[in-house]
Structure formats: C-alpha cells, structure tokens
C-alpha cells in the first residue's frame, strides 16, 4: 500500500521528469524558433497572398514571442511523456499485465493529440484565416503582429490537440473508477451539446470550422465509449464510487 508521503514523493518525481522534458524540448524549439515561425506563417500568406510579412511594434516583442512559441512547442513535443507520467501516477494500482498496455495507451493518446494539432493547422486554420483576412478592403489594411499571430496558431493547435484527447480521458476516468463503464453512453444528451459549444469556441466564430471540429469529436466520443467497453471489465460498474447505494441501511 502506498502511503501519503510515498504518493507525494512519486508526484514530485513525475513532475520533475515532466518539467525537465518540457524544458529540454523548449530549448531545442527555441534554437529552431525562426524556422518554426516561418512554417507557422505559411497558412496566413496563403490565405492572403498580398501579405508578405508580419510586424512587431515593441523592441522585445520578437524575442518574447519566440520564447512563448518555444514553450508551447515544448509542451506539444512533450505530450507522450506527459501522458505517460499522468497515466502511471493516476493508476498506480494497475496489475502487471495492465501495465504492459501503458505504452499502447500512450501511443494512441499521442496519436490523437497529433491528429488534433494537425487537423487544426491544415484544415481549420486555413479556413479561419481566410475568413478573418476577408475583411480587408481599400479602406482597411490588415497588419498582423508577430506575437498575436504565432500565439494564435500555437494555442489553436494545442487546444485542438487536447480536444482530440477525449477518448483517452474517457478511458482514463473509467479505468481509474471515477465513472461507471456505461456513464458516457448514458450522458450523451449532456456531452453532445458541450462538444458543440466547445467546437464553436475553438472555431473562433467560424461556423464551418466549428462544424469541421464537432463532427470528428462526436466520432471520437463514440470511439471512447467503445474503447471503455473493451478496456474495462463489467466489475467496474460495481467498483465505481457512484455505484448502487440501495444496499446501504
């Protein structure tokens, strides 16, 4: 049995590993920050061919922006390690045969995150940028700032990557015992509107972008329900904290 002090020590060690990996990838990202920034600018220039460069209006803006970009990229690149540390800390009671599935779980969770970030950058972002840049006219000239644009792209990619983690979070909640194995299938009428609202927020007001996001999220939600049924046993219903209390007198 793990004591409270042992649990806190394990948390400390896993936090140290997580922050160390983020720092390492952030440093590497900063070394290539200019190349990463140029890659991120490509969708904007494609959406508005008349725009050939971004501007910055503060002497330290470019430097601070590259630091923020490097930190966000560090978090993104560290996702597999962060997911592994989170899973191992949240489910310390796994049996030996279940621990062997951790690598598989982390692989698919990382793949989902990458798919979400890629979906945002290659599908949603071009449409959103085309919409926003469409307000330009002879009396209105767009002058996107370096900091605002790169932060928008990085945060959007990070947000979509996290949104695509829905199946992973669902399976984790069921496996740890926070919810019953049939909880999410019974709560569709609440989670579907929540997904729709999340899609509208992440779509930044672009209805088409929101639709492009909510449809795969609905599919991922159903995949999460299917994976829970395959990954958890029927005894989870009885072991769940929210189980039947009718036997209590």
- pLDDT tens digits for range 194-237: 888 877 776 655 676 677 778 888 888 888 888 888 766 554 44
pTM: 0.71
Residue 74 lies in a domain: yes
Residue 70 lies in a domain: yes
Which region among 61-70, 82-91, 145-154, 203-212 has the lowest average model confidence (pLDDT)?
A: 203-212
Domain range spanning residue 111? 4-164
Show the tokens assigned to 108: 């698919």
Please say if the pLDDT value at position 28 is more than 70: yes
Residue 220 lies in a domain: no
Residue 22 lies in a domain: yes
> What pLDDT does 163 receive?
80
> What pLDDT does 249 receive?
35
Highest averaged pLDDT of the listed ranges 69-83, 124-138, 175-189? 69-83
Residue 180 lies in a domain: no
Residue 107 lies in a domain: yes
Q: Give me the helices (H) in the chain, please.
A: 4-31, 33-47, 61-77, 79-90, 96-99, 102-119, 125-133, 146-163, 166-176, 183-186, 188-202, 207-231, 236-239
Structural contact between residues 192 and 218, judged by C-beta atoms closer than 8 angstroms: yes
Residue 134 lies in a domain: yes
Confidence of residue 248 (pLDDT cuts 50, 70, 90): very low
Specify the number of domains making up the chain.
1
Please say if the pLDDT value at position 35 is more than 90: yes
Residue 20 lies in a domain: yes
Nearest to 232 by CA among 165, 185, 192: 185
């Amino acid at each position: 049995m793990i004591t409270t002090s042992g649990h806190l020590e394990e948390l400390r060690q896993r936090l140290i590993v997580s922050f160390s990996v983020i720092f390492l990838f952030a440093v590497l990202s900063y070394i290539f920050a200019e190349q990463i920034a140029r890659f991120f600018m490509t969708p904007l220039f494609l959406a508005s061919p008349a725009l050939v460069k971004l501007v910055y209006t503060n002497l330290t803006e470019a430097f601070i922006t590259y630091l923020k970009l490097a930190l966000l990229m560090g978090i993104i690149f560290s996702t597999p390690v962060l997911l592994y540390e989170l899973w191992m800390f949240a489910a310390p009671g796994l049996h030996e045969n279940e621990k062997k599935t951790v690598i598989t779980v982390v692989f698919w969770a990382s793949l989902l995150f990458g798919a979400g970030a890629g979906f945002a950058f290659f599908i949603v972002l071009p449409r959103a940028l085309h919409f926003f840049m469409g307000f330009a006219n002879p009396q209105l000239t767009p002058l996107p700032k370096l900091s605002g644009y790169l932060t928008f792209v990085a945060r959007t990619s990070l947000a979509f990557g996290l949104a695509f983690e829905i199946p992973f979070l669902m399976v984790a909640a069921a496996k740890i015992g926070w919810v019953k194995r049939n909880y999410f299938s019974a709560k569709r009428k609440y989670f579907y509107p929540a997904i729709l609202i999340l899609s509208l927020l992440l779509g930044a007001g672009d209805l088409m972008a929101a639709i492009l996001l909510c449809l795969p999220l609905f599919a991922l939600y159903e995949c999460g329900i299917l994976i829970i049924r395959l990954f958890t046993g029927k005894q989870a219903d009885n072991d769940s904290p929210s189980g039947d209390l009718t036997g209590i007198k």
